[in-house]
């Protein structure tokens, strides 16, 4: 169980990291202030600030987020009457505003705020403690920081570094970058897995992987052995071989094989009985040999990735056309259950699972549902068509509806997963 939990944290954390790094990278490239880059949710475990961005790892490994200035509900304006401490640079500009309400600091100038503008004109006006007659005005540095009431320090967000001040193209690319990263990462990991496991399966009758503790393993069959005959039936390709063994569930079966040293010998195996739908077939735990040449292996990695994309897209189409069934969806509980099963199969299967999950997350995030990246991209497209942005009020309402919908769906899916996987 411990291995499953650790694997789940690594798998889920890695995929979230790749996704959020996409948003983070393009926001930085577009000149948007990234307030926070967080992996996980809930209370902070570790935090580190660099170049005005707070990097955090949080307790619950169930997601993550990138907080962009202007894209969130920023409320930096200081209310009149608020007492703050000001730190000035050598030219008299404010470089830090302490609003944490902590004990007086002799190194800070205590100011009772009369009015402020930390987005456009960048100034503070107020009364220095002990002098309530003379209104003082301070220019605030563009990169000044503010310490909020919780003690967290962040950079102020002038209009030019806010999300909505970026060009439409840069906002579109920032929203797209997360899912795009997941798709590219999934393709890369599929290619890596192809080189670890091997390329496309051969159609010949030579053996590749032998399943541990299977009838084939017990009979000392080895990768590279070539099965020439099943009982009296000659086999020249894998389809013939698989069909001949499938017809003999539970029956002692004589195989004629050619070993790696070209010696031909006969061995006896007893195929295990396996249910295949309504049919009963025989299996001995063998796989065909794989092609390990560079070109076919590279192509196989790409093909595996795009096949996964096709499977996920077709599944979504069936959900829309054939009626919604909550069992077709899975949340963190389902991912944990699948991770647990995959972890027991070895690290190679975990790598394939990472690739599949990353592509799945990328495609799901592109769905045009408010609050998902796809919903934000749809608003960008609407803005491009209308040649003016959607009103802030409309955008807030649309995103709120999306959040409520996704929250309700997540609760329903999680409860359904618990019933499916843990309460039989």
Q: What is the residue-wise DSSP string for 360-401?
A: HHHHHHTS--TTSHHHHHHHHHHHHHHTSPPPHHHHHHHHHH
Report the mean per-residue pLDDT for the chain. Answer: 87
CA 240, distance to chain mean position in Å, is 42
Beta-bridge partner residues of 269:
253
Instruction: Give me the pLDDT at residue 292, please.
Output: 85
Distance CA 64, CA 76 (A): 23
Domain containing residue 230: 207-288
- Please report whether residue 26 resides in a domain: no
pLDDT of amino acid 423: 60
What pLDDT score does 152 carry? 77
Query: Do 301 and 392 fall within a single domain?
Result: yes
Q: Are residues 151 and 223 in the same domain?
A: no
Cα 373 from chain centroid (whole Å): 13
* Rg, C-alpha atoms of the chain: 30
Q: State yes or no: pLDDT of 196 exceeds 80.
A: yes
149 has catalytic annotation = no
For residue 253, the cross-strand partners are 269
Predicted confidence (pLDDT) at residue 74 exceeds the cutoff of 60: no
107 located within any domain: yes
Average pLDDT, stretch 153-172? Answer: 92
262 pLDDT exceeds 60? yes
How many domains are contained in the chain? 3
Which residues contact residue 303 at a Cβ distance below 8 angstroms, ignoring those fewer than 6 apart?
Answer: 200
Which of 156, 188, 215 is the last residue before a domain boundary? 156
Report which of residues 21 and 212 the model is more confident about. Answer: 21
**What length does the chain have?**
424
**What would the pLDDT profile of 98-107 be if each residue is shown by its tens digit?**
988 666 677 8
Q: Do 372 and 404 lie in a common domain?
A: yes
In this predicted model, which residue has the larger pLDDT, 92 or 322?
Answer: 92
Catalytic residue selected from 20, 121, 149, 383? 20
316 and 270 in a common domain: no
Q: Are residues 299 and 417 in the same domain?
A: yes
What is 175-210 written as a DSSP string?
HHHHHHHHHHHHHHHHHHHHHHH-SSBPSSSBEEEE
| 324 lies in the same domain as 263 | no
Q: State how far the alpha carbon of 348 is from the alpha carbons of 91, 170, 179, 193, 343, in Å.
A: 60, 37, 24, 7, 9
Q: Are residues 417 and 300 in the same domain?
A: yes
End-to-end distance of the chain based on CA atoms, in angstroms?
19
Q: Residue 228 above 90 pLDDT?
A: yes
From 288, 314, 338, the end of a domain falls on 288
Residue 170 belongs to some domain of the structure: no
CA–CA gap between residue 171 and residue 418 (Å, rounded): 38
Which pLDDT score is estimated for 24?
A: 96
Q: Which pLDDT score is estimated for 421?
A: 57
Grade residue 190 by pLDDT with cuts at 50, 70 and 90: very high
pLDDT at 303: 94
Sheet containing 233-234: give its strands across: 233-234, 226-230, 253-258, 264-269
pLDDT (0 to 100) of residue 88: 94
On whether both 280 and 221 belong to a single domain, the answer is: yes
Confirm whether 51 is domain-assigned.
Answer: no
Whether 30 shows a pLDDT value over 70: the answer reads: yes
CB 344 within 8 A of CB 350: no
């Amino acid at each position: 169980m411990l291995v499953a939990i650790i694997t789940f944290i690594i798998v889920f954390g890695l995929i979230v990291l790749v996704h959020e790094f996409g948003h983070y990278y393009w926001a930085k490239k577009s000149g948007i202030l990234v307030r926070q880059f967080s992996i996980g949710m809930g209370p902070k475990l570790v935090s580190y600030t660099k170049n005005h961005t707070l990097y955090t790892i949080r307790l619950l490994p169930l997601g993550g987020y990138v907080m962009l200035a202007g894209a969130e509900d920023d409320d930096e304006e200081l209310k009149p009457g608020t007492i703050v401490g000001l730190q000035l640079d050598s030219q008299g500009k404010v470089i830090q505003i302490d609003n944490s309400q902590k004990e007086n600091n002799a190194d800070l100038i205590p100011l009772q705020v009369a009015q402020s503008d930390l987005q456009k004109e960048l100034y503070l006006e107020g009364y220095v403690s002990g002098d309530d007659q003379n209104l003082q005005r301070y220019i605030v540095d563009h990169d000044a920081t503010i310490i909020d009431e919780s003690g967290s320090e962040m950079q102020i967000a002038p209009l030019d570094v806010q999300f909505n001040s970026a060009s439409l193209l840069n906002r579109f690319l920032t929203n797209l970058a997360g899912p795009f990263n997941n798709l590219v990462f999934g393709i890369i990991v599929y290619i890596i897995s192809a080189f670890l496991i091997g390329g496309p399966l051969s159609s010949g009758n030579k053996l590749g992987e032998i399943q541990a503790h299977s009838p084939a393993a017990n009979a000392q069959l080895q990768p590279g052995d070539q099965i020439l005959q099943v009982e009296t039936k000659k086999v020249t390709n894998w389809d013939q071989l698989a069909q001949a063994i499938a017809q003999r569930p539970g029956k002692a079966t004589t195989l004629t094989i050619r070993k790696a040293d070209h010696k031909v010998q006969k061995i006896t195996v007893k195929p295990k009985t396996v249910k295949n739908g309504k049919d009963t077939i025989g299996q001995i735990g063998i796989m065909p040999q794989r092609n390990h040449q560079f070109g076919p292996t590279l192509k196989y990695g790409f093909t595996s990735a795009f096949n996964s994309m096709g499977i996920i897209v077709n599944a979504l189409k069936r959900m829309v056309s054939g009626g919604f069934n909550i069992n077709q969806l899975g949340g963190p509980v389902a991912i944990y259950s699948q991770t647990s099963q995959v972890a027991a199969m070895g690290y190679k299967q975990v790598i394939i699972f990472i690739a599949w999950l990353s592509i799945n997350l990328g495609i799901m995030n592109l769905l045009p549902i408010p609050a998902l990246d796809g919903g934000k991209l749809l608003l960008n497209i609407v803005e491009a068509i209308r040649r003016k942005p959607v009103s802030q009020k409309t955008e807030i309402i649309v995103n709120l509806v999306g959040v409520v919908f996704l929250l309700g769906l997540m609760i329903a899916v999680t409860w359904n997963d618990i019933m499916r996987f843990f309460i039989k």
